[in-house]
Amino acid sequence: MAKKPENLTFEESLCELERIVSDLEQGDVSLDDALKQFERGIKLVRNSQGKLEQAQQKVAILLQEDEDASLTTYATEGE
């Protein structure tokens, strides 16, 4: 059973959306299956948009806390 869109990461949602688009573009899907995939795709898009909006809000809040903050390159622990 497929995970609910709200339980997927943003990246997982994008991968599934790409697969759905590919399947639909090939045209080998029955009408009923195409409608189900389209409906799933819409749910994935809406959920992904919500996650993006949340991320944008977090960034805006963080930047408001220190208006003089500038963006710097992020160094991982291995570097």
Query: What pLDDT score does 78 carry?
Result: 56
Quote the pTM value. 0.72
pLDDT value of residue 18: 96
Reading phi first (left if > 0) and then psi (alpha if -120 to 50, else beta), residue 30 is in: beta
Contacts of 69 (CB under 8 A, 6+ apart): 62, 63
Residue type, 69: A
Residues of the chain with pLDDT under 50: 79
Q: Using alpha carbons, select from 51, 53, 54, 39 the residue that is nearest to residue 12.
A: 51
State the pLDDT at residue 60.
82
